Copies of this chain bind each other. A is one copy, B any other.
Amino acid sequence: MNPPSSLEELVQALRCLPGVGPKAAQRMTLHLLQHDPAGGTRLAEALKKALSNIRHCEQCNTFTESALCALCASGKRDPALLCVVETPADLLMIEQTQAYSGLYFVLMGRLSPLDGVGPKDIHVERLLRRAGDGVVREVVLATNFTVEGEATAHHLGELLRARGLAVSRLARGVPVGGELEYVDSGTLAQALRDRRVV
């Protein structure tokens, strides 16, 4: 027997969520219909609202509902510091540390020639204009420490340095609370190379 078509459509539609396979999608569908139709209605409305209201900040490219995001509009941040991240999620992670007082630029991706993601897709020209506004003095490259994130940081670093900007990269090393015995050797080698005078 085939399940009713609008049920099957909902199962299929839920598959667009990352990490949701056929089994989880079916479980979600039956849960919503059986136990939480109000939650389902709320979800449908939240989806519509977010998809129509949210756009990119004109200055830093993160998600926002206004022309400028709350951070860029705040005026309380150090405009001489610009932190470059891959995604809005990375921005939120750095904000959670409360250890950074500057502004951001969100690439919305990383260089990945194999997937056809080039400099244009990650808004490199826009970043160079933004960093060259005469106020920004240091650019902190906070892309991921993956192969693609490192390549992106290298590429951006070259371009930014050529424009006379100070460029830095997040420190690599042993995680806080980490035990040497359980740290991978690549990280440990990096921590040795980047050792600090105390």
Q: Which residues of A contact B (CB under 8 A)?
A: 1-7, 9-10, 12-14, 16-19, 24, 26-34, 36-37, 39-51, 53-54, 63-65, 69-71, 74, 87-89, 91-92, 95, 108
Contact = CB atoms under 8 A, between A and B. Distances in A.
Given A4-B69, A89-B30, A51 B47 contact: no
Given A13-B47, A28-B18, A4 B41 contact: no
Interface of A is mostly: helix
B27 A19 contact: yes
A63 B27 contact: no
Contacts of A91: 1
B63 A50 contact: no
